[in-house]
Amino acid sequence: MAINNFLLFNLTLHLLLLLRVSSDPSRITGDVSRTPKKFLEYAKSPEVLDWMVRIRRRIHENPELGFEEFETSKLIRSELDLMGAKYKYPVAVTGVVGYIGTGEAPFVALRADMDALPMQEDVEWEHKSKVPGKMHACGHDGHVAMLLGAAKMLQEHHQDLQGSVVLIFQPAEEVFAGAKKMLKEGALNHVEAIFGIHLTNRVPFGKTASRAGSLLAGSGFFEAVITGKGGHAAIPQHTIDPVIAASSVVLSLQHLVSRETDPLDSKVVTVSKVHGGNAFNVIPDSITIGGTLRAFSGYSKLQQRVKEVITKQATVHRCNASVNLTPEGKGAVPPTVNDMNLHKQFKKMVRELLGEESFVEASPVMGGEDFSYFAEAIPGHFSFLGMQDETESYASGHSSLYRVNEAALPYGAAMHASVAVQYLKDKASEVHDEL
Ligand SMILES: *[C@@H]1O[C@H](CO)[C@@H](O)[C@H](O)[C@H]1NC(C)=O
Ligand SMILES: [Zn+2]
Ligand SMILES: [Zn+2]
């Protein structure tokens, strides 16, 4: 869609909205069933959309890696200051926890991650990353903009909130440690439920995908050093060849999924790194291999078998092996499991906000997300927001050609705001029922 037409269209909508809003001082509380649609109209208005786009582009130009999101965090805080929202900072180095509403229970959280990836952007455009070797290629710049958009809308209606909305701006999702650290520092204290949204090119624009139960896999890494005894490549009998041992290890690891796993229970063992040797005629002393493991269940059993296979196969070939299950300090994240009740609420919200046909039942994905730490601590719900356009194709996450379809930002902002309002409203009516 041409952005100018789009804006013009929304400007008109916004003017209509303003007229209606000004004659209805209670706004959000007035007609409950129309609340979500109002959020979407407002999020699409230039006042909110252009502002979100500006924020997203500023963050995109200055990508920061995990736990280094100082400028991003500063930008978030200055926007929260401008809208008059309270927040805690720092929570987990650069993290920000904002609060909107009564300041009292119930508390419902919305989460955005802030970090970029250590890769070079190959998209040539006006707001290309200005930092060589760093890029927002997972849409986290868009996630921050969407959550700020929701914050703005919620703050403007803060008197109508029947509880508190907690805004989680989280560092270091890509290195899988940010959520854990935020939890440890109390970001979710008193919070009853948390919702997260991720932009994706795998879902059509304007639609959202999710499912109840397991959505994303438990995910982690391994690295092993297989040590033999190097020597002359033409006199192998005087060496202990780690290349043969490593080859054997790589093949044997494939049997963990093909022979030891229920074919209906998805798991992945990938060896993605093999390093060793420098010369045509020298057998090296050691080979280093590494890779990733994915599973929805039985993750620690799989880890244990990986370790066993590597060390025992090395022994078969007279080599020794040491296995590291947290290479570079990267621990495993649990699977992301969506709470049944929150999923029902989410679907209801989507129906009211975007219409029935905009919900897509997601298949589980073997990718990992550290949102899982939050969803393990309290009921959580993670969903994907579609960007894929019929006329334009968007690259997948972690591609150097990754782009965000900025027209999707209002959808994310409105979904965030609506689901929070609805959660608090449902909670209030529950309490009412009990009385
Ligand atoms: C393996 O470890 C054992 C015990 O430390 C040691 O005796 C042996 O020399 C090692 N073998 C290799 C190939 O490094
Ligand atoms: Zn990512
Ligand atoms: Zn991501």
Position 288 scores a pLDDT of 98
3-state secondary structure 36-62: HHHHHHHHHCHHHHHHHHHHHHHHHHC
pLDDT digits (tens, 9 = 90+) for 206-231: 999 999 999 999 999 999 999 999 99
Q: Which residues pair with 97 in a beta bridge?
A: 88, 168
Q: Are strands 359-361 and 208-210 parallel, antiparallel or unpaired?
A: parallel
Confirm or deny that 138 is annotated as ligand binding.
yes
Residue type, position 264, single letter:
L
In sign, the C-alpha dihedral spanning 22, 24, 28, 32 is negative
pLDDT higher than threshold 80 for residue 85: yes
Question: Is 379 in a helix, a strand, or coil?
Answer: coil
> Looking at beta carbons, which pairs linking 21-30 to residues 24 or more positions away fall under 8 Å?
26/160, 27/157, 27/160, 28/157, 28/160, 28/421, 29/160
Confirm or deny that 398 is annotated as ligand binding.
yes
**Which of the two residues, 310 and 329, has the higher pLDDT score?**
310
321 alpha carbon, closest ligand: 1
Which letter does DSSP use for residue 236 in this model?
G
Question: Is 113 in a helix, a strand, or coil?
Answer: strand
Position 331 scores a pLDDT of 87
What's the CA-to-centroid distance between 215 and ligand 2, angstroms? 15
Residue type, position 280, single letter:
F
- Kindly report the protein residue whose alpha carbon is nearest to atom 5 of ligand 1: 320
Q: Which residues pair with 225 in a beta bridge?
A: 288, 322
| Residue from 286, 315, 320, 322 to probe ligand 1 pocket by mutation (most atoms less than 8 Å from CB) | 320
- Kindly report the protein residue whose alpha carbon is nearest to atom 1 of ligand 1: 320
Angle between helices 35-44 and 409-434 (to 10 degrees): 160
Residues having CB closer than 6 A to ligand 1 are 227-229, 240, 319-320
pTM of the model as a whole: 0.86
pLDDT higher than threshold 50 for residue 352: yes
What's the CA-to-centroid distance between 320 and ligand 1, angstroms? 6
- Kindly report the protein residue whose alpha carbon is nearest to atom 6 of ligand 1: 320
Domains of the chain plus CATH, in order, are: 3-216+336-434 (3.40.630.10), 218-329 (3.30.70.360)
Position 35 scores a pLDDT of 67
- Kindly report the protein residue whose alpha carbon is nearest to atom 3 of ligand 1: 320
